Amino acid sequence: MSQLPAPVQLVMRRLARHLAIGLFLDLWPTWASVGLLVSGTVALVCRMFLSSAAPILPWLWLTPILIALPTLGIVWRRAYRPHEVAALADSLGGGQGVLLTLLETDHSAWARSPLLEKGSAVALPRLRLRRALTPLVPAVAFLAVAMMLPQRMRTADTNPILAEQIAADLSAAVVELKQQELITPAEEQRLEQEIERIRRSAEERVDASSWEAADALREQVVAGLSEKQDAVKWAQDSLARLAAAADGSGASPDAQAAELTKALEKLAQSGMLAAAPADLRKLLKDGKLPADPAALRDLAAALGKYLSETNGRFAGLGKLGKEFGRFDPSEFPVGTEPGTNGDGLPGNGGISRGRGDAELTWGKETQPFDRFKSKPLPPGAARTPDDWSPVMVLPGSPQESATLSGQSDARQYSATAGQGAWRRSLAPRHQTAVKKYFDKNDKNDKQEKKDKQDK
Amino acid sequence: VTDAVQTLLAPDRVAGGQAKISRVVHQLRRVIIGKEQVIDEVVTALLARGHVLLEGLPGLGKTELVKALSKLLSLEVRRIQFTPDLLPTDVTGSHILQEREGRREFVFHPGPIFTNLLLADEINRASPKTQAALLEAMQERRVTTFGETRPLPAPFFVLATQNPIELEGTYPLPEAQLDRFMFKVDIAGVDQAVLEEILVTRVHGDPPALEPVLTASDLIDLFSLVDAVHLPRGVANYAARLVAASHPASPQAPESVKTFVKYGASPRAAISIGAAARSLALVGGKPNVGFDEVRRVAAPAMAHRLVLDYAARLEGWDGRRVVAALLESVPEVERGLPRTLEAR
């Protein structure tokens, strides 16, 4: 194209640029629309099912730009060649074929010819941008709508905040028990392991089971506390009875000492002696009562003091639990003690009354004196055929003859039996002969019967 | 792009050729009033060394046009009035037994075809056998009789006329004969203003006296100039696509071609378009052919070469209308503008 005159080169360059833009706009809006529709669908799916992809969704707006890159490559590959540009320029300029000729021939003689000016006067084609970009509008709208949709959150989705909260509540209860010296280090370690397990489980999925597991752990803690409290109470009672026996007002001292020993064993098993003062543990000597009465008195005094302090800690735990956010053992009643409604019947109420695993009842049964009495029905009255009477007599129905009433049918028609048939089937001239025949036979029969009787 | 770079005709040569042609056209327009397009088409065909079939009613100046041409171009002209009893030898000439120097021998007596400009008047009245006598002469510019082939004088043109209305006792030209005419020029009637001009300027209808404006050497020079007019490949591609699309089986054929055309134009049509377009470009003072020249010569060059179906006659379609539809549907450039660009 370098051999072309400068004005022609300019025209050709401008037309080639126009054609390239036209080629790009032929391809890109359609492909970008498809890309935007696909992006919109992806955004829609992410909004509905994939909440974790929400932060990257705005990047989908870059789809048209990404699509523009391969489009540019294709435009570059399909670009109009110089002779195609010249042909189009010639066609647009009135079909003179000047530019094509300039490309193909040595035109030096025509350098200053008006023919060249005429040939280079090409009206560049108009770019119909609006028509080209129209397909993008619905696609952009679709993606915009898809992006504006609120993110759908799954109810059973992972929620680390909730999991941390559940674990924190449980840990606070453990810390509180530890401060009150109501749990042993081993128990504390086990509880912490349980709390960690619940926390991990809740991080994966927070649902009713997470809360139930936390409540179960609290109930377990409360049950342990109750057991310890019982052991402390038993030890106190046993100590009191031993003191009374020593004064001679109770049972034998040996029996009470044995009971106190068992109570102390129980206390040791519950771990409550682990937190006892060192002098008390020294007096107990492996959980056995000293034989020396003086040492026994000292032990009783120290033990009584310790048990009183322990009871005080239990009471203090109950009082602190009433404060907001503190662990309250009374929220988890142990055993079958009467609930807040006071009826003491299992399964007889809502979630706040009775245990969940209690026997299911359908409410209060009817008391025997309130039940319905059986009441016999009056005897039935059997109807007789006489009770039935004709309601009406239709014309054509058989009429009862008063004269023949009570006679049998055979008797009623015997006199004329067969007469009608006789008359109907035999000609009159034969009737006499037939009658004679039967009469004769009849007579013969009678005679034979008579002979037989005679014989 | 052509392999070897051609040299474009020099502007002065083009201008000189155009001036000569303009003189001829100017004189012809003096003789034939109101028929500018017919004159242009006939001159274009003659410069392209093509034969012309003139079709029109009697009295429209067909014979006058041929006579004027012969005078202006200093060409020998012969006229043959084609009749049903005309024999081929009446056209081509025949051998006659003659005595020369005591010996008898057949001597060839050339017929009227041995001329520069042959006016074949009412060509469709002759029998097909006589019409066929023109085939070799028109295509190869030679005549073969008694096994002897003789060249015709150069240049050789056939300007035939035929009457479109008197069909009784006529023999329509076969397709092979029609295909040898570069142009078929339809001569329509004249309007009132032209008639008035004729009445004012002519006494007894006699045309003005003409003097030759071109010599034989001028004509040969013009022929060489026409041949040197550059036909760009893109324009040739357009002409080729036009002819190809005239075939009903072509994928580029418009619906009208598929419906009304039985057989499309031959390759000779494409050659005629190329030659005529070159000639027309020179008439217009251009050193090259453009799309516009191809569009202008397409109808006279292609219309008579299309074999139309009976449906075309029933629907009132003729060859020119089909070519117009072709020009409408076939784009000038094979690879058009992108869809988002619109020509102003």
Q: pLDDT tens digits for A34-46?
A: 999 999 999 999 9
Closest Cα of chain B to A29: distance in Å?
11
Shortest distance, CA A11 to any CA of chain B (angstroms): 15
Q: Is the pLDDT of residue A66 over 80?
A: yes
Distances (CA, A) of A441 to A415, A419, A448, A453, B189: 20, 18, 10, 18, 138
Contact A123 B286 (CB under 8 A): no
Pairing of strands B51-56, B181-187: parallel
Name the residue among A26, A101, A125 with its Cβ closest to that of B342.
A125
H helices within A82-207, ranges in order?
82-92, 98-104, 114-119, 129-133, 136-148, 160-179, 185-204
Element holding B308 (H helix, E strand): strand B307-308
Half-sphere exposure of A221 (CA within 13 A, CB side): 33
Distance CA A283, CA B222 (A): 146
User: Nearest to residue A15, comparing CAs of B242, B338, B66, B194?
Assistant: B338
Residue with tokens 């602190």: A320
pLDDT recorded at residue A344: 47
Given a cut of 90, is residue B270 above it in pLDDT? yes
Task: Give CA A95 to chain center in angstroms.
Answer: 76
Locate A343 and state its tokens. Answer: 């009826």
pLDDT value of residue A1: 45
Residue B341, pLDDT above cutoff 90: no
Q: Chain A window 64-103: which residues touch B at a Cβ cutoff of 8 Å?
A: 80, 83-84, 86-88, 90-92, 94-98, 100-101, 103
Is the pTM higher than 0.90? The answer reads no
CA distance A41 to A353: 51
Q: What is the pLDDT of residue B1?
A: 40
Mean pLDDT taken over chain A? 76
Q: Report the pLDDT averaged over residues A98-116.
A: 78
Residue A322: strand, helix, or coil:
coil
Sheet holding B51-56, edge to edge: B77-81, B117-121, B157-162, B51-56, B181-187
Chain A residues with CB inside 8 Å of B234's CB? 83-84, 86-87, 90, 97, 100
Mean pLDDT of A291-312: 78
Indicate whether A430 pLDDT > 80: no
Residue B337 to chain A, least CA–CA distance (Å): 7
Question: Given a cut of 60, is residue A2 above it in pLDDT?
Answer: no
Which one is predicted more confidently, A334 or A275?
A: A275
Query: In sequence order, which residues have a C-beta less than 8 Å from that of residue A388 and are 6 or more positions away?
Result: none
Question: Phi-psi category of B122—alpha, beta or left, where left has phi over 0 and alpha has psi -120 to 50?
Answer: left
Q: Is B234's CB within 8 Å of A87's CB?
A: yes
Q: Which of A4-18, A256-270, A385-399, B2-16 has the highest mean pLDDT?
A: A4-18
Region of residue B70 (left: phi > 0; alpha: psi -120 to 50; beta: else)? alpha
Query: What pLDDT score was predicted for residue A340?
Result: 47
Three-class secondary structure assignment of B242-290:
HHHCCCCCCCCCCHHHHHHEEECCCHHHHHHHHHHHHHHHHHCCCCECC
Tell me the chain B residues in contact with residue A96 when contact means C-beta distances shorter than 8 Å.
286, 288, 290-292
Q: How far is A121 from chain B (nearest CA, A)?
A: 13
Please state, in angstroms and rounded to a whole number, the distance separating the CA atoms of residues A122 and B341: 14
What band does A339 get if pLDDT is binned at 50, 70 and 90? very low
Single out the residue of A120, A96, A19 nearest to residue B342, CA to CA.
A19
Residue B326 pLDDT grade (very low, low, confident, very high; cuts 50, 70, 90): very high
pLDDT digits (tens, 9 = 90+) for A188-231: 898 899 888 888 888 877 777 888 888 888 888 888 888 888 88
Give the pair of three-digit tokens for residue A345. Answer: 């019947």
Which residue of A19, A98, A106 is in closest CB contact with B338? A19
- pLDDT tens digit string along B43-83? 999 999 999 999 888 888 888 888 888 888 888 888 899 88
Q: Determine the pLDDT at residue A408.
A: 53
Residue B206 has pLDDT above 80, yes or no: no
Nearest chain A residue to B5 by CA distance is A105
User: For residues A349 and A354, what is the distance between their CA atoms, to the nearest angstrom?
Assistant: 7
User: How many other CB atoms are there within 10 angstroms of residue A254's CB atom?
Assistant: 10
Answer positive or negative: Cα dihedral of A252, A256, A261, A262.
positive
At B120-145, the pLDDT tens digits run 888 888 888 888 888 888 888 898 88
Whether residue B87 is predicted with pLDDT greater than 80 in this model: the reply is: yes
CA distance A197 to B278: 96
Compute, in degrees rounded to 10, the torsion defined by CA atoms A358, A360, A366, A371.
Answer: -140
Residue A127 has pLDDT above 60, yes or no: yes
Specify the range with the lowest mean pLDDT, choosing from A420-434, B16-30, B308-322: A420-434
CB contact A8 to B (< 8 Å): no
Encoded tokens for A173: 């209860």
CA–CA separation, B150 vs B167, rounded Å? 34
Compare A123 and B280 and report the one with higher pLDDT: B280
Q: Does residue B12 register a pLDDT over 70?
A: yes
ipTM of the prediction: 0.81
Return d(Cα B278, Cα A249) in angstroms, integer.
149
Residues in B touching A25 (Cβ below 8 Å): 338, 340
- pLDDT above 60 (res A324): no
Interchain proximity B288–A105, CB inside 8 Å: yes
Tell me the one-letter amino acid at B214. L
Amino acid at A249: S
Cα A127 to Cα A24: distance, rounded to the nearest angstrom: 12
CA distance B162 to B170: 10
Contact A83 B234 (CB under 8 A): yes
Cα–chain-centroid distance for residue B166? Answer: 22
pLDDT reading at B112 higher than 60: yes
Q: Does residue A166 contact residue A199 with C-beta atoms inside 8 Å? A: yes
Q: What is the pLDDT of residue A390?
A: 60
Nearest CA distance, A18 vs chain B (angstrom): 8
Percent of chain A with pLDDT strictly greater than 70: 73
DSSP B112-168: TTSSSEEEEETGGGS-HHHHHHHHHHHHHSEEEETTEEEEPPSS-EEEEEE-SS--T
Q: What is the pLDDT of residue A335?
A: 47
Name residue, tokens 């090409």: A122
Residue range A86-111: mean pLDDT, rounded: 81
Residue A334's DSSP bridge partners are none
Residue A393, pLDDT score: 62
Candidates B5, B241, B288: best to mutate against A (most CBs of A within 10 A) is B288
Q: Flag whether residue A3 sits within 8 Å of chain B, measured between CB atoms.
A: no
Contacts 24+ apart (CB under 8 A), A8-12: A8/A99, A8/A102, A8/A116, A8/A119, A8/A120, A11/A89, A11/A99, A11/A120, A11/A122, A12/A82, A12/A85, A12/A86, A12/A89, A12/A99
Asked if A26 lies within 8 A of B290 by C-beta distance, the reply is no
Under DSSP, the state recorded for B230 is B
Nearest Cβ partner for B288 among A26, A101, A109: A101
- Residue A354: its H or E element: none
Provide the pLDDT confidence category of residue A342 given band limits of 50, 70 and 90: very low
Residue A240, Cβ neighbours under 10 Å: how many?
A: 15
Closest CA to B333 of A273, A298, A15: A15
- For residues A269-290, one letter each, b for 16 or more C-beta atoms within 10 angstroms of the residue's C-beta and e for the rest, the string is ebbbbebbeeebbebbeeeebe
Q: Is the minimum CB–CB distance between A110 and chain B shorter than 8 Å?
A: yes
What residues of A are in contact with residue B2 (Cβ under 8 Å)?
Answer: 104
Q: What is the pLDDT of residue A10?
A: 86
Is the CB of residue A114 less than 8 Å from the CB of residue A12?
no
Could you tell me the two tokens for A1?
């194209």
Q: Would the pLDDT of B2 be above 50?
A: no
**Residue A213, helix vs strand vs coil:** helix
Mean of the per-residue pLDDT values of chain B: 87
